[in-house]
Amino acid sequence: MKSIIVGGGIMGLSAAHALKKAGHDVVLIEQGTLPNPLGSSVDQHRLIRYPYGAQRGYTRMVRHAYHAWKRLWHDLKMTLYAETGTLVLSGAGDGWAKACVEALTAENVEQLAFDAESVVGRWPMLNGDGIEEAFFCPSGGVLFAEAIVAALSSHLRERGVTLLTNTSVVAVDADKGSVTLADKTVLQADHVLVTAGPWTSKLLPDLGNVSRPSRQVVVYLQPPGDLTATWYQAPMILEIGLSQGFYLVPPRITRDGMRTGLKIGDHTFGPTADPGTNRDALPDEIDAIVAKAKTRIADLDQYRVAQAKTCFYDVEADEKFQFRQLGARGYAFCGTSGHGFKFGPVVGELIADALAGKASYEETARWLAGDIIEEPAATSDSSG
């Protein structure tokens, strides 16, 4: 069986990996290089964590994601991950931390309650003002995103997956299972899977309502010298409430000795924009991100902005992943809304099972949307 995948981010690469392991002949098409510096999957790091507010379906899916990453590390013969733990904070009236605790307790995920004084006592580089609820999970950590995309791409080449880079797809025929390239070449397969991230709506306009390209800005900070070592021991920080929408990725050292940065970002979605243009972060965008962090990082004026970058999410209004059957032979996965990277390998496995007829398309789509909290048939036997 032959499968064509359009898009070489973590979702496309993970699906290619799972399909190849299942015996498919796989062709993956990427409009840029692999890794593509403009891709949503390409940055120093991405987070994996259990806290998901009241979205218990995704809380449960994280456990399956960890098992899928473990299978991928085995295949890659390397682990591109560092545990950090997860510190969750909520301000006045937000209630996000409380909703997390309820879901985590139901899923038997360990967490330890803190008050504002305890937070500052353990992590003195933080400001405790306005914290009403807080807890810490020992689980959660940093996935070294760009290194993962590079390693997985190399692995797929070695396994015989055809990777067509710097190649644009201009049309998809979901009924025929074909794609048309910019040079008018037509490629045919049993299945076509579009995993084009924020470029999805450009290629498949009918999915524009579940895949809006949202411009996001992230900022890397250089802490004062006396706090550098402290930050390398810090957890990720999530303050995803009505008043904040702020997250922090702590620095770590990769397996090859590279040091990643201290990254801050805005959890709320940005304006709709073309992901192929306007990539320079503007001063007012940088200032807005830093202003959010200023409420939580003590003495932030002593920190220096080392770098600012733009990233694009493909946003679905309810932040639910969308697995869509488009025709007799066409599928798309989109709507990851900025929280998809952590689920890449398990999404790839589930989609591969659906395409092979080993799992129901309808149930797979519902589970990926976070609407089912029971064990999915496609992962219950392999999760370990």
| Cβ atoms of 142 and 262 closer than 8 Å | no
What is the pLDDT at residue 340? 97
Alpha helix stretches (DSSP H) within 96-206: 96-106, 116-122, 145-159, 200-203
Q: Classify each residue of 301-319 as buried b or exposed e, where b means 16 or more C-beta atoms within 10 Å of its C-beta.
A: eebebeebbbbbbbbbeeb
The type of residue at 351 is I
- Residue position matching structure tokens 């073309």: 274
Q: What is the pLDDT of residue 380?
A: 40
For residue 269, the tally of other CB atoms under 10 A from its CB is: 17
Between CA 102 and CA 176 the distance in angstroms is 47
Domain boundaries, the chain: 2-368
Q: How far is CA 374 from CA 56, 300, 367, 377, in A?
A: 10, 44, 9, 9
Q: Which residues contact 303 (CB under 8 A, 6 or more apart)?
A: 221, 222, 223, 224, 297
What is the rounded CA–CA span in Å between residue 88 and residue 237? 6
What's the CATH number of domain 2-368, 3.50.50.60, 1.10.1050.10, 3.40.228.10, 3.30.420.40? 3.50.50.60
Give yes or no for a contact between 355 and 193, defined as CB atoms under 8 angstroms apart.
yes
pLDDT at position 373 is 63
Under 8 Å CB-to-CB from 37, ≥6 apart: which residues?
Answer: none
Total length of the chain:
384
Query: pLDDT at position 382, please?
Result: 37
Give me 297's structure tokens. 């990082």
The reply to whether omega before 35 is within 30° of 0 (cis) is yes
CA pair distance 9, 256, nearest whole angstrom? 22
SS (H, E, C) 217-240: EEEEEECCHHHHHHHCCCCEEEEC
- Tokens encoding 123: 């992590």
Give SS3 for 210.
Answer: coil
pTM of the model: 0.95
Structure tokens at 138: 């020992």
DSSP secondary structure letter of residue 278: -
> pLDDT tens digit string along 213-267?
999 999 999 999 999 999 999 999 999 876 567 899 999 998 888 899 999 999 8
Residue ranges for the chain with pLDDT beneath 50? 378-384
Paired tokens of 102: 């309820």
CA atoms within 13 A on the CB side of 239: 27
